[in-house]
Amino acid sequence: MSCCYYPLPVEFMKHTTEIPPKAKLLLVDEKEDLERKMQSLQVEIIKHQQVKETLLRSRSVLEPAPDPVVVYDVAGIIAYTNPADFRMVLS
């Protein structure tokens, strides 16, 4: 939950091997925060893999197509053309 660690004074922990309750709470909070971040990253990785697979499937269909295929983005800029489009432009 916190972004920063606030170390306990050395003299506070000097003569004990037991973790103070305040430190335990900080560790638990930090662990929970790291678990949430890790879960979020795992979701992002899965989404990225799904997008990559979709793009690869699209290319496997569009690349060998004998007819020109041009894909524009929302701004009207060409985002993709297949090899047939290049052949048409060059001829």
End-to-end CA gap in the chain: 62
Whether residue 70 lies inside any domain: the answer is: no
Residue 4 lies in a domain: no
Return the ∠ at Cα 15 (arms to 10 and 21), rounded to 5°.
Answer: 70
Domain annotation covers residue 48: yes
Count: domains in the chain: 1
Q: Could you tell me if residue 53 is inside a domain?
A: yes
Q: 35 in a domain, yes or no?
A: yes
Residue 28 in any domain: the answer is yes
At 31-85, the pLDDT tens digits run 999 999 999 999 999 999 999 999 999 889 989 999 999 999 999 999 999 999 8
Q: What is the domain extent for residue 14? A: 10-64
Asked if residues 36 and 68 have their Cβ atoms less than 8 Å apart, the reply is: no
- Does 73 map to a domain? no
Cα distance between residue 84 and residue 67, in whole Å: 6
pTM of the predicted model as reported, rounded to 2 decimal places: 0.55
